[in-house]
Amino acid sequence: MPARIDPEERRQQVIEAAFRLVVAEGIEGVSLRKVAEESGLNIGSVRHYFDGHHDLLTAAAEEASARMGRRLAAHPAERLRGLTGEAALDALQALVETVMPVDGPRRDEAIVVVELIMASRTMPVFRAMSERMAADLAAVLRDALDSLHVLDGDLAAGQLAAVIGGLTLDTVTPHGALSVDRLRTVLRAHLRMLLANARHG
């Protein structure tokens, strides 16, 4: 008797194939045919789960976001409360690095997110997701900075989001060709400046 196929596992197989293709070839490299080949399935199976190119790209971006979210969950903002000095700096950097390209898996996730953000400039179908990702990140950063009593949290969160975006782009593209060590050095310097503007006691 043939083994039962789990539809959710099969769907995840397709998503991960699309994810890998975005990393390797950019959004232009994602097609139903290529995803079918990459996942080892026939194109009919891929079409069963996704209507087309946009659905596949959205699913790949959602996968990147979900992976980042799972890591962020291990760094709740409440754990930052009461921390000062280097302990606060270390904890904040660990939280921020969950969404930055500091290792292979996080680099791949960042590439997928950057591809979607860039596509959203000219493709309205991706705009809502891009805006939601930005809002989610801003909320996480604001909660973290509030927990550390950083003054003017909205402005500080906006500055930090911009630094994250810039460093990510410069690490995953030839634009800046940043090494991970350089990324971490620049990020830490910015976080130190933010925490200098915190009230204690």
Which residues are within 8 A (CB) of 131 and not within 5 positions of it... i.e. 6 or more apart? 120
Which residues are within 8 A (CB) of 17 and not within 5 positions of it... i.e. 6 or more apart? 35, 38, 39
H helical segments located in the chain? 7-25, 32-39, 43-49, 53-72, 85-97, 104-120, 127-147, 153-172, 180-196
Tokens at 107, concatenated: 């680099």
Alpha carbon distances (Å) from 174 to 90, 95, 108, 168, 192: 28, 26, 15, 11, 27
Query: What CA–CA distance (Å, rounded) separates 109 from 112?
Result: 5
pTM above 0.95, yes or no: no
Q: Could you tell me the fold of the domain covering 7-196? A: Tetracycline Repressor; domain 2 (1.10.357)
Tens digit of each residue's pLDDT, the chain (201 residues)? 445 668 889 999 999 999 999 999 999 889 999 999 999 999 998 999 988 888 889 999 999 999 998 998 899 999 999 999 999 999 999 999 999 999 999 999 999 999 999 999 999 989 999 999 999 999 999 999 999 999 999 999 999 999 999 999 999 999 988 999 999 999 999 999 999 988 764
Which residues are within 8 A (CB) of 171 and not within 5 positions of it... i.e. 6 or more apart? 100, 101, 107, 110, 178, 179, 180, 183
Q: Give me the residue label for tokens 């990510």.
A: 168
CA nearest neighbour of 196 among 162, 170, 159: 159
